[in-house]
């Protein structure tokens, strides 16, 4: 009797365990995500790239399946889609812009909102991880056969869509993002002592550099108005030492205490001005006494006539004398001004 009781107890425990497994399988429902075993598990499927203001989202997707084996899931457990549902496989990887490229122009910490749309059903997906170098792979449980399936990716109110059945992308109002080349913000010098200052009596340790311009539909955390684009570039100037001579063997050396820069294109001031918020935009620098100015300038231009320019810069420095020689008696303080036209586009 005691042996029969033990055997009966074992049968009850196994039955309960099997029932629990069945209940766990039954809890899988439409909208659930099941992590795949590999980060790039579906890379042989359809491929699409979605360009966002903050980077690119590379998407791979395969045909819907009824089940996934234990080798295909992160938990190493086989998963069957519920009755009347399928599993949609997706791999994606979010590639943010390279450091120093567009993040200051974009000036946004928004993340995309992603919906999987199938047969008129909509499933909200967690956004891709920004710093995940390996990407993510997962199955989405959806009702129906998911013959028509797409991803809708919204960023700050503008939506793009990807047809997962054929990999085609509809960029919508974000289309101009795809025209931004990888070399869009190359550094170009815009300083020349003979142009900025009188080289006969003045010697200035002065530099000017620009990065860009770039034409983008999104900048400073905003989409451009309809029919417009943003023309954006970064300009950096630095005055280290300004010296003047009196042509009689005397002279003086000055350091800048403040700088004012007025940029415009054909008389129009920038819509947004974003500071570098570092030593490049400090005057005077507490370490070097150099006077730095570094701003990202964003102008609204017509989309069908976007390559505007040149950029006019009016620069004014407030100076104080540091040293004088040769009997020269300079003013203790003075103002130095310069103006220049900076060409933005190649002919």
Which residue ranges in the chain fall short of pLDDT 70?
Answer: 1-26, 97-101, 130-134, 193-194, 347
Contact 302, 268 (CB under 8 A): no
CB-CB contact of 111 with 127 (8 Å): yes
Query: What would the pLDDT profile of 123-159 be if each residue is shown by its tens digit?
Result: 999 988 766 566 899 999 999 999 999 999 999 999 9
Long-range contacts: 72-78, Cβ < 8 Å, 24+? Answer: 72/36, 72/37, 72/41, 73/34, 73/35, 73/36, 73/37, 73/139, 74/34, 74/35, 74/36, 74/37, 75/35, 76/37
pLDDT digits (tens, 9 = 90+) for 173-187: 999 999 987 777 888
Q: What is residue 7's predicted lDDT score, i.e. its pLDDT? A: 33
- Residue-wise pLDDT tens digits, 302-347: 999 999 999 999 999 999 999 999 999 999 999 999 999 999 998 6
pLDDT the model gives residue 184: 74
pLDDT of residue 26: 54
């Amino acid at each position: 009797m005691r042996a029969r009781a033990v055997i009966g107890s074992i049968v009850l425990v196994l039955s309960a365990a099997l029932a629990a497994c069945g209940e766990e399988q039954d809890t899988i429902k439409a909208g659930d995500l099941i992590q795949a075993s590999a980060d790039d598990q579906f890379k042989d499927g359809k491929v699409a790239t979605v360009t966002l203001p903050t980077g690119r989202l590379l998407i791979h997707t395969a045909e819907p399946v009824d089940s996934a084996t234990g080798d295909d899931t992160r938990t190493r457990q086989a998963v069957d889609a519920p009755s009347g549902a399928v599993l949609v496989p997706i791999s994606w990887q979010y590639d943010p812009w390279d450091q120093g490229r567009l993040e200051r122009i974009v000036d946004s910490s928004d993340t995309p909102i992603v919906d999987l749309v199938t047969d008129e059903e909509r499933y909200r997906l967690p956004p891709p991880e920004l710093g995940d170098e390996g990407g993510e792979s997962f199955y989405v449980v959806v009702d129906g056969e998911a013959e028509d399936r797409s991803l809708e990716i919204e960023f700050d109110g503008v939506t793009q869509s990807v047809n997962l059945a054929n990999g085609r992308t509809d960029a919508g109002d974000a289309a101009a993002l795809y025209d931004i080349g990888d070399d869009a913000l190359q550094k170009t010098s815009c300083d020349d002592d003979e142009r900025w200052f009188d080289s006969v009596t003045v010697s200035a340790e002065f530099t000017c550099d620009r990065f860009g311009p770039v034409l983008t539909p999104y900048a400073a955390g905003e989409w451009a108005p309809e029919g417009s684009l943003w023309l954006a570039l970064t300009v950096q100037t630095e005055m280290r030492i300004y010296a003047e001579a009196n042509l009689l063997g005397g002279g003086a050396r000055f350091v800048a205490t403040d700088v004012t820069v007025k940029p415009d294109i054909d008389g129009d001031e920038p819509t947004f001005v974003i500071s570098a918020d570092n030593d490049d935009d400090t005057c005077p620098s507490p370490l070097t006494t150099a006077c730095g100015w570094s701003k990202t300038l964003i102008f609204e231009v017509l989309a069908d006539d976007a390559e505007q320019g040149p950029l006019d810069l009016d620069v004014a420095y407030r100076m104080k004398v540091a040293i004088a020689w040769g009997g020269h008696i300079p003013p203790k303080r003075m103002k130095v001004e310069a103006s220049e036209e900076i060409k933005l586009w190649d002919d």
